Chains A and B, each alone.
Chain A
Amino acid sequence: MTVQPALRYQGHYAGAVSRLASFVIDIVVSAGIFCVALAAISYGAQVITGNLVSWNHSTGVVAGLFAAWELAYFGFSWATNGRTLGMAVFGIRVVRTDGAVLEPRHATVRALVFPFSFLFCGLGFLGILVQREHRALHDLAAGSAVVYAWTTRAPGSGQEA
């Protein structure tokens, strides 16, 4: 008897490839939304004021807005669903270390610490590779872990994926 892959991986700690791939999707999607939003704001301001409005990327305002947007994107996604869009694609989810659903406060801590994992050439992410439970710095800070959490659905069964 063969075990379905989805069931075989269910609850196991997600590895570096899944997490990196989901992060790439999230960055592309969130940056795309951000760019569209900036363009929409510029266009709206131009229509209202009648003057050409452009963003000055050197002042750091755009960078600050982008950082705030990323914080909101990841924090809100983890707090509400336990997963971002990229994580949903790869069937992984953020949970508490005991498998419980991630609470909003833990999601907020995770989102706030997340940027610090990039410091020192991404040293905070090293835990995903070498730690037994593949927990990065932001996971250790928030008491979270990322696991495979997808099940296959029979077409038309309406079961949760």
Chain B
Amino acid sequence: MNPRDRLTSAGKRWTDPAEALAQQVTERVVDLVVGALDVNELVARVDVNAIISRVDIDAVLRKIDLNELLGQVDVNELAQRIDVAGLVEKADIGAIIAQSSGGMAREAVDAVRYRTAGLDQVVDGWVRVLLRRKDAAPPPLTVQAGP
């Protein structure tokens, strides 16, 4: 054995136990520090809004390749996982259709009434011009609720 190897071997006899000791001490210190920390208080001190305001969401979004992301999604498998029959069973489709179609019919009737009333005003305007009527239209009646 040459003198250099002997020196290295002697060094390792000292450094290996020292390294193991240092690692044990570090782990113990970390355990003590973590145990002493009140995480809730620490989180409470963090101003999340300030952190979020610093993040450039647009820049992050620009980096995301949505096409590539969507390309990795197996839509067919996803669709197969959806319990359509269960969803239909839970949803009252009849009531939804009745509500939406009823709303559409009501809007259509209101539109017809509004347009017809507008035409009434147009015709009334022509008559007023023809008759050279200057007086204002009569005030509306206070209609009692019907039977």
Stretch at the interface among B17-25, B58-66, B72-80, B134-142: B134-142
Assess whether A6 is in contact with B138, with CB atoms less than 8 Å apart: no
Query: Which residues of the partner chain A approach B109 to less than 8 Å between Cβ atoms?
Result: 89, 91
Assess whether B106 is in contact with A153, with CB atoms less than 8 Å apart: yes
Assess whether B138 is in contact with A17, with CB atoms less than 8 Å apart: no
Assess whether A149 is in contact with B120, with CB atoms less than 8 Å apart: no
Assess whether B144 is in contact with A99, with CB atoms less than 8 Å apart: yes
Assess whether A91 is in contact with B113, with CB atoms less than 8 Å apart: yes
Assess whether B117 is in contact with A11, with CB atoms less than 8 Å apart: no
Assess whether A15 is in contact with B147, with CB atoms less than 8 Å apart: no
Assess whether A150 is in contact with B113, with CB atoms less than 8 Å apart: yes
Known: A16-B120, A98-B141. A81 touches B127 (CB 8 A): no
Assess whether B141 is in contact with A147, with CB atoms less than 8 Å apart: yes
Interface residues of A in 109-137 (CB under 8 A from B): 129-130, 132-134
Number of residues from A at the complex interface, CB < 8 A: 43
Give per-residue flags for B98-134: 1 if the beta carbon is below 8 A from chain A beta carbons, else 0: 0100110010011011101101110110010001000
Assess whether B119 is in contact with A17, with CB atoms less than 8 Å apart: yes
Assess whether B141 is in contact with A152, with CB atoms less than 8 Å apart: no
Assess whether A99 is in contact with B146, with CB atoms less than 8 Å apart: no
**Is B143 an interface position by the 8 A CB rule?**
yes
Known: A17-B123, A153-B106, A155-B102. A99 touches B143 (CB 8 A): yes
Query: Which residues of the partner chain B approach A80 to less than 8 Å between Cβ atoms?
Result: 147
Complex CA distance for A141 and B147, rounded to whole angstroms: 22
Complex CA distance for A90 and B131, rounded to whole angstroms: 27
Which of B110, B120, B123, B146 is close to A152, meaning CB atoms less than 8 Å apart?
A: B110
- Cβ distance B96 to chain A, nearest Cβ, rounded Å: 11
In the complex, residue of chain A having the shortest beta-carbon distance to the beta carbon of B104: A155
Known: A80-B147, A90-B113. A95 touches B141 (CB 8 A): yes
Complex CA distance for A150 and B111, rounded to whole angstroms: 12
Complex CA distance for A149 and B86, rounded to whole angstroms: 45
Q: A5-B117, A132-B137, A160-B145 are in contact. List 15 more A-B contacts (CB 8 A).
A: A10-B143, A11-B142, A11-B143, A13-B141, A14-B120, A18-B119, A18-B120, A81-B147, A90-B113, A90-B116, A91-B117, A130-B127, A132-B135, A148-B113, A161-B106
Can you report 12 residue pairs joining A to B where beta carbons are below 8 Å apart?
Answer: A6-B114, A11-B142, A11-B143, A12-B137, A17-B119, A17-B123, A18-B116, A21-B116, A81-B146, A98-B141, A148-B117, A153-B106
